[in-house]
Amino acid sequence: MKNTERNVNILNLMSFIALVIVAILVVVNQLLPVIGVNTSGPFFNVLATIEKLFTIIVIGISAYNFVANKGKGLKITYWVAVALFIAGIVLIWFK
């Protein structure tokens, strides 16, 4: 197996694991209020942040696989979008 194939397989595995974690967090976050759990505390804010970070990992890996063989303009757009998303997540903590 070539080095690039191994890297792609590792990225795909990371993307899959992140997707599974996000799916679990979304379901738990939706079910807890139904059973009467207050989800407005700092612990749940951390879980929401983790959910968003893993979402960007899944989207980011998929998008990077798309732009990897494209021109410089798409790669710059990709990195700007990732930076904006991360900045948005960080700014949530400074409300």
pLDDT tens sequence for the chain (95 residues): 566 666 667 777 877 888 888 888 888 888 888 888 887 888 888 888 888 888 887 888 888 888 888 899 989 998 998 888 888 877 876 76
Q: What pLDDT sits at residue 8?
A: 65
Q: Model-level pTM?
A: 0.61
CB 62 within 8 A of CB 15: yes
d(CA 95, CA 93): 6
The CB density around residue 52, as the number of other CB atoms within 10 Å, is 17
